[in-house]
Amino acid sequence: MPYQFEDLKKACAGEWQAYIEHSFVRQLGDGSLAPEAFRHYLKQDYLFLIQFARAFALAAYKSPTLTDLRQAKEGLQAIVDVELDLHISYCKEWGISEEELARLPEARATLAYTRYVLDTGNRGDLLDLHVALSPCMVGYGEIANWLNSRADTLRGERNPYNAWIAMYESDEFQQAMKAEIRWLDERLADVSPARFEQLTRIFSDATRLEIDFWEMGLIQSD
């Protein structure tokens, strides 16, 4: 039976649940997260986005087909021309200036996660890179959906983090998430059990590093 992205999640069910349902996420949903923790996360997420853009540039280099090359180019362009500007504007709403963002040092969790993704992509092929990126590219959309399924989640003006949830429940992000899952399903369908085991390790490592990223925000560690 061909492998699918869902099989990666099942193989790493404990890590995936710990990531999707992390205390940081729960507190985002019910509005109880400390503002200082969210600001710390926003700052580091800006630095993460820059490295994420580099990962798409690497994806372009690793692309074996014109279709893959165009996909990587679109991802890079979306981050550099759209997402970073939106993130900077959102940070300003939380009292974080663009000048402050430009001076930020990377927290250890940010360094560990982003460099793992880039190193995985450098050592492996395009599928390795996409699997390493998938906890972010797919996970944030699933997190928004999970939050919306919970009775404890507050929406609208009652929740200072409502805009964050809205970003990842948006049609645009949900469609991008589904497109990434389709891409992964198509490639995973052709891999051997031994290759799937390798990819499972990458997925597990990346998911655990995502958990560390939440933890970094929650405790505001450097």
Exactly one of 99, 136, 169, 172 is catalytic; which is it? 136
Which of 15, 106, 180, 210 is labelled catalytic? 210
Angle formed at CA 20 by CA 16 and CA 23, multiple of 5 degrees: 120
Helix (H) / strand (E) containing 82: none
Burial (CB < 10 A; 0-12, 13-18, 19+), residue 152, is exposed
CA angle 183, 185, 190 (to 5 degrees): 110
Tokens representing 71?
Answer: 């996909």
Closest of 3, 7, 11, 20 to residue 135, by C-alpha: 20
CB 47 within 8 A of CB 106: yes
The SS3 call for residue 71 is helix
Cα separation values, 54 from 40, 48, 61, 133, 217, Å: 22, 10, 11, 12, 22
What token pair was written down for 136?
Answer: 């972010």
Secondary structure letter of residue 33 according to DSSP:
S
Residue type at position 128? D
Whether 210 sits among the annotated catalytic residues: the reply is: yes
72 touches 60 (CB < 8 A): yes
91 among known catalytic residues: no
Give catalytic residue positions: 136, 210
